[in-house]
Structures are given as structure tokens and as C-alpha cells.
């Protein structure tokens, strides 16, 4: 399959779906939903230049290390965590979880009801809802130390999830903005179909094709855990490494329940492939 990718016989999208399947990710499990990368860093330009390397996200680094300042903060957390917490890691949250998936797809059923169920029966505070691609990128790559989310496959083929066609009352933000359709980058001209078209072109671009293997190493490969993960600033709470923990050998029901609850709330690292 990798040779087919190198020869451009399959698309980057198809290859990522293949890896997700091998790693145990499935559309049938919100806690192990397929994970896709942010590929762009430009959500402000009027036109999208896919020949400019600065248009793209650094695929060799996890979301927590996209800026030097943020990377150093997470490294500092890793080095100091032994003094305060039981588990040494860079991130206590994850890049893919049930709530992240449901928040992206909240404008479509059955994800609307799933999201409300995970939120205790109602929508979240409007300012925390997924409402803007640009704002979500800035939060996950720069601004929010508890947000290192990646994307889901729908960002590359499903324009419908970006519109509030069902006219759900999602609330009003503090600045007075009423939540409706997702706010798109200027280069999409307010058109979800154009956003998906250009976003898919970005995924299949020469730049991403040449650098995608770095991201695969972080999510599915050898930089997933161990010394390589520490060096890459890519370690997560031990409870999130589900395939590394033998729950059958944990006799204390309280500990087992805590681990399962942690995974349910914060997500799970894919199986290494």
C-alpha cells in the first residue's frame, strides 16, 4: 500500500483511511474515530496558494508543538510533572475523542444528539462550540493548552457538516454572534463545497505528499511512544495508550473504572502499525 502511495496509485486520503483501519479506528466508535491531520496553516488569505510551503501546517510536529513558545510550555510541563502528577507526559488531553468528533459534526444528526448527551443533555456554551475553522485551528495549534485536536475525514469530503441545515439553536456568543453555519476561511468564499474542494486539494498536494509520513510516524508509527515520542514532544497520559495497558490484569475495579472513564472522556491512542 505504501508503494502504491509513492507511485500515486492511491490518494493520500485513501492511504490515511487504510492506516486508520489497520490501527483499529472506525466510524462505528466515537472513541476510536478515524483521525486525519490539519494540513493547512493559512485560514486568513483571500486565495489559497498550494505552492507556498508556509501555507501548510508543520506535519513533522504534533499540534502541541506547532509554535516554539507552545512547544516549550509542554516540554516544561513534561519536566515538572513528576513534582505534581503521577504520570509524566506532555499532554493530558488527546487529539481525538468522542466529544471532539461530536463537536465537529454537531450540526448533523445523529451527532447532534450524541453531542448533547455527552454534554449532559444540552449544547455547550456557545463560545466553546465549533463555529469557525480559523478559530479552531488557532486554539488547537497555538492558544489553548488543553486543545491539541486533529481533524476527522469529513473535513475532506462532506460539506454538509459545515452548515446548520436543521436550524438548531446553538446559542449566541459573548460578542453577539448567533451560531449557525461554520465560519469558513476567506479563500472558501463562504461556500462549504469550495472549502471541501480546496481542502482536499491541499491534502493531495505535492507538499503534503512529501511530508505526510512525518505525521504518520507521530500518530501511527514509532514516534507514538517511548524515547522517540519524548523527543518529538508527543507523549500523552498513560491511560490513553489503551493497547499498552492490560485491563484484564487490573484487579481493583475502581482503578479499572477510572482508566475506562479517562479513555471515554479523552480518547485513545491508535494501535501502532
CATH code for the domain of 213: 1.10.1540.10
Mean pLDDT for 110-134 is 92
Please indicate, yes or no, if residue 23 is contained in any of the structural domains: yes
Mean pLDDT for 163-167 is 96
CA distance 71 to 82: 18
Interval 52-92: pLDDT, tens: 999 999 999 999 999 999 999 999 989 886 555 567 899 98
Q: What is the pTM of this model?
A: 0.91
User: Mean pLDDT in the chain?
Assistant: 91
Strand partners, 183: 132
Please indicate, yes or no, if residue 261 is contained in any of the structural domains: yes
The total of structural domains in the chain comes to 1
* pLDDT value of residue 265: 72
CA distance 83 to 121: 37
The closest of 101, 38, 34 to 64, measured between CA atoms, is 38
CA distance 186 to 240: 36
Place of cell 493497547: 243
Is a pLDDT exceeding 60 seen at residue 152? yes
Whether the CA torsion 215, 219, 225, 230 is positive or negative: it is positive
Residue 91 DSSP symbol: B
Q: Tally the residues of the chain.
A: 273
Interval 98-121: pLDDT, tens: 999 999 999 999 999 999 999 888
Please indicate, yes or no, if residue 272 is contained in any of the structural domains: no
The answer to whether the beta carbons of residues 17 and 249 sit under 8 Å apart is no
Please indicate, yes or no, if residue 271 is contained in any of the structural domains: no
Please indicate, yes or no, if residue 218 is contained in any of the structural domains: yes
116, containing H or E segment: helix 111-118
Please indicate, yes or no, if residue 125 is contained in any of the structural domains: yes
Please indicate, yes or no, if residue 195 is contained in any of the structural domains: yes
| Residue 199, Cβ density class (10 Å: 0-12 exposed, 13-18 middle, ≥19 buried) | buried
Please indicate, yes or no, if residue 128 is contained in any of the structural domains: yes
The closest of 200, 191, 207, 196 to 50, measured between CA atoms, is 207
Q: What confidence category does residue 239 fall into, taking pLDDT thresholds of 50, 70 and 90?
A: confident
Please give the residue range of the domain that contains residue 251.
1-266
Interval 10-57: pLDDT, tens: 999 999 999 999 999 999 999 899 999 999 999 999 999 999 999 999
**Nine-digit cell string for 157:** 469530503
Amino acid at each position: 500500500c505504501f508503494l502504491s502511495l509513492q507511485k500515486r496509485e492511491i490518494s493520500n486520503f485513501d492511504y490515511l483511511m487504510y492506516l486508520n483501519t489497520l490501527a483499529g479506528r472506525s466510524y462505528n466508535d466515537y472513541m476510536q474515530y478515524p483521525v486525519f491531520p490539519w494540513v493547512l496553516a493559512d485560514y486568513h488569505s483571500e486565495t489559497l496558494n498550494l505552492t507556498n510551503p508556509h501555507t501548510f501546517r508543520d506535519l513533522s510536529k504534533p499540534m502541541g508543538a506547532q509554535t516554539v513558545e507552545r512547544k516549550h510550555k509542554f516540554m516544561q510541563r513534561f519536566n515538572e510533572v513528576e513534582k505534581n502528577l503521577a504520570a509524566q507526559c506532555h499532554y493530558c488531553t488527546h487529539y481525538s475523542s468522542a466529544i471532539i468528533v461530536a463537536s465537529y459534526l454537531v450540526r448533523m444528526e445523529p451527532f447532534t444528539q450524541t453531542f448533547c448527551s455527552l454534554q449532559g443533555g444540552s449544547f455547550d456554551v456557545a463560545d466553546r462550540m465549533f463555529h469557525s475553522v480559523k478559530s479552531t485551528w488557532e486554539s488547537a495549534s497555538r492558544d489553548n493548552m488543553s486543545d491539541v485536536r486533529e481533524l476527522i475525514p469529513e473535513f475532506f469530503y462532506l460539506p454538509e457538516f459545515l452548515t446548520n441545515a436543521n436550524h438548531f439553536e446553538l446559542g449566541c456568543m459573548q460578542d453577539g454572534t448567533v451560531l449557525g453555519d461554520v465560519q469558513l476561511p476567506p479563500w472558501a468564499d463562504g461556500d462549504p463545497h469550495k472549502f471541501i474542494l480546496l481542502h482536499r486539494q491541499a491534502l493531495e498536494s505535492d507538499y503534503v505528499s512529501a511530508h505526510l509520513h512525518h505525521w504518520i510516524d507521530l500518530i501511527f508509527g514509532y514516534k507514538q511512544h517511548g524515547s522517540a515520542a519524548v523527543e518529538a514532544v508527543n507523549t500523552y497520559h498513560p491511560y490513553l495508550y489503551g493497547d499498552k495497558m492490560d485491563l484484564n490484569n487490573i484487579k481493583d475495579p475502581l482503578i479499572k473504572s477510572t482508566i475506562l472513564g479517562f479513555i471515554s472522556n479523552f480518547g485513545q491512542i491508535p494501535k501502532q502499525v
